[in-house]
């Protein structure tokens, strides 16, 4: 056998795995990977237990349990005034990651261009590469992480097959407004291209802001795969459940892929989530305040360190400038901080193809106050 030629030669172990491993090795407080250290709501856990003891052990329907899709449709209606047909337009997937992969495989063909905005989430590019497409990286403006509309206008062309946006944005916390979505619709209008709108942090928005979903912008909705995550909303990232909302023709193509990636997602969890969403809409309604309290708690802790937090409008991530502490590049700084001072973070340059000259790390504050306080105690010594 000749040595295998990798289809993803650029892909190694991700920085998230590396930093978590390093955190464990050095007994560091792990504020790197984006997962909560608190439990899902107790009533949801009871419903999971009940579903496990019931008759929900065989394959769910390929596009998702009908009860769960109905609950999602009701939430979209009540929260965003969006009408989505649960039968033809909503597909339950194994995490938003699977929905992203399926949507990209469904529409991107060999040599198609896909526009992504850096810093961007790490799963987009490998999915584009496997589909035979080419990622075109456009930087968001620095330091406020907004779309540079002139750059987008110049990058769009007849080969552009897909544009990927993410709001609330990981890692910066920046939000796209309704006016931004209108602008995007106007720029995409002349092109036969699709939109993938990654909205997994839809409920983590602060200071009275409301999440603007691409599904509520009529022109965008016609060309859009909107992707959501139960993991982010119910403090259960390990359950790997998410969903995609797209017009019938796009959903049909996405399902052709989904059918052969996972066929269907975990049945008892879908049942429990369907019941919980219907009985407890207050959970997601209270999430902005819940996370805002943590953001405020964490930024108050950072205020008495040499880190300078950047404004964060959403997500459970906080960027912080460390230039008052070190001149090391961010990857070296993050390693040093973990090994020597016991706090693990994510260096922001890993989210870029060409990173700007900045000294930024990302903290995840979806943690118990005691965890955040333990990290702050160590950060105060710097």
CA atoms within 13 A on the CB side of 206: 18
d(CA 234, CA 262): 22
Q: What is the nearest approach in angstroms of ligand PLP to the Cβ of residue 166?
A: 5
Stretch 277-296: interaction string toward ligand PLP, x if CB under 6 A: --------------------
Return the residue of 32, 91, 170, 265 that touches ligand PLP, per CB under 6 A.
Answer: 170
Quick one: 224 or 376, whose CB is closer to ligand PLP?
224
Q: How far is the CB of 227 from ligand PLP (least distance, A)?
A: 7
CA nearest 137: which of 112, 163, 103, 111? 163
Dihedral of alpha carbons 323, 328, 329, 335, sign: negative
326 forms part of the interface with ligand PLP (CB under 6 A): no
Interface residue with ligand PLP among 40, 63, 95, 347 (CB under 6 A) is 95
Minimum CB distance to ligand PLP, residue 281 (Å)? 20
How is 40-87 classified by DSSP, letter by letter?
A: PPHHHHHHHHHHHHTT--SPPPTT--HHHHHHHHHHHHHHH-----TT
Which phi and psi angles does 68 have, rounded to 5°?
Answer: -70, -40
Whole-number Å distance between alpha carbons of 221 and 180: 14
| Inter-CA distances, 316 with 1, 126, 148, 171, 362, Å | 47, 24, 24, 9, 10
**Nearer of residues 305 and 349 to ligand PLP, judged by Cβ:** 349
> By Cβ distance, which residue is nearest to ligand PLP?
95
Count of helices and strands (H, E) across the chain: 14, 13
103 lines the binding site for ligand PLP (CB under 6 A): no
Residue 200 interacting with ligand PLP (CB under 6 A)? yes
- Pick the closer one to ligand PLP by CB: 51 or 196: 196
Q: How far apart, in whole angstroms, are the C-alpha atoms of residue 342 and residue 62? A: 45
Smallest gap from Cβ 1 to ligand PLP, in A, equals 34
Q: Which parts of 32-91 interact with ligand PLP (CB under 6 A)?
A: 34
Least separation in angstroms between residue 371's CB and ligand PLP is: 18
Pick 95 or 139: Cβ nearer ligand PLP: 95
- Which of the stretches 47-55, 153-161, 229-237, 339-347 binds ligand PLP when contact is defined by CB under 6 A? 229-237
How much of the chain is in helix, strand and coil states, percent to nearest 5? 45, 15, 40
127: enclosing H helix or E strand: helix 124-130
Least CB distance from residue 115 to ligand PLP, whole Å?
A: 16
Among 65, 166, 266, 318, binds ligand PLP (CB under 6 A): 166
Kindly write down the DSSP assignment for every residue of 198-263, as one continuous string: E-TTTT-B-TT-----GGGSHHHHTTEEEEEEHHHHTT-GGG--EEEE--HHHHHHHHHHHHHHTS
If one asks whether residue 346 binds ligand PLP (CB under 6 A), the answer comes out as: no
Position 139 contacts ligand PLP (CB under 6 A): no
Cross-strand partners of 137: 116
Binding status of residue 237 toward ligand PLP by CB under 6 A: yes
273 part of the interface to ligand PLP, by CB under 6 A: no
Does 268 help bind ligand PLP (rule: CB under 6 A)? no
Interface residues with ligand PLP (CB under 6 A) are: 34, 95-97, 121, 166, 170, 198, 200, 229, 231, 237, 242
């Amino acid at each position: 056998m000749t040595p295998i030629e990798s289809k993803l030669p650029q892909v190694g172990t991700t920085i998230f795995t590396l930093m978590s491993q390093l955190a464990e090795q050095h007994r560091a407080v792990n504020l790197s990977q984006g997962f909560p250290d608190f439990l899902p709501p107790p009533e949801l856990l009871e419903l999971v237990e009940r579903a496990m003891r019931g008759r929900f052990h065989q394959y769910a329907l390929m596009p998702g349990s009908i009860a769960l899709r109905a609950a999602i449709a009701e939430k979209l209606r009540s929260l965003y005034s969006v009408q989505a047909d649960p039968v033809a337009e909503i597909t339950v997937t194994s995490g938003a990651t699977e929905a992203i992969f399926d949507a990209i495989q469904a529409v991107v063909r060999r040599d198609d261009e896909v526009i992504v905005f850096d810093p961007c989430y790490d799963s987009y590019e490998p999915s584009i590469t496997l589909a035979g497409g080419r990622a075109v990286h456009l930087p968001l403006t620095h330091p406020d992480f907004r779309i540079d509309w002139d750059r987008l206008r110049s990058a769009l062309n007849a080969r552009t097959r897909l544009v990927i946006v993410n709001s609330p944005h990981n890692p910066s916390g920046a939000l796209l407004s309704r006016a931004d979505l209108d602008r995007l619709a106007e720029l995409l209008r002349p092109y036969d291209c699709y939109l993938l709108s990654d909205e997994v942090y839809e409920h983590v928005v602060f200071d009275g802001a409301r999440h603007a979903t691409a599904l509520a912008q009529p022109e965008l909705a016609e060309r859009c795969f909107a992707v959501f995550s139960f993991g982010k909303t119910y403090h259960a990232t390990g359950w790997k459940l998410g969903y995609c909302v797209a017009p019938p023709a796009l959903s049909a193509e996405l399902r052709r892929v989904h059918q052969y990636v996972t066929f269907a997602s975990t049945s008892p969890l879908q049942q429990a989530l369907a019941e919980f969403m219907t009985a407890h809409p207050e959970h997601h309604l209270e999430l902005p305040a819940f996370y805002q309290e943590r953001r405020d708690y964490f930024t108050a802790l950072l205020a008495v360190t040499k880190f300078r937090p950047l404004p964060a409008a959403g997500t459970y991530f906080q960027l912080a400038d460390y230039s008052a502490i070190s001149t090391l590049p961010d990857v070296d700084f993050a390693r040093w901080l973990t090994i020597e001072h016991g706090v693990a973070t994510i260096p922001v340059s890993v989210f870029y193809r060409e990173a700007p000259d900045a000294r930024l790390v990302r903290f995840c504050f979806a943690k118990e106050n005691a965890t955040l306080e333990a990290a702050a105690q160590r950060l105060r010594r710097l």
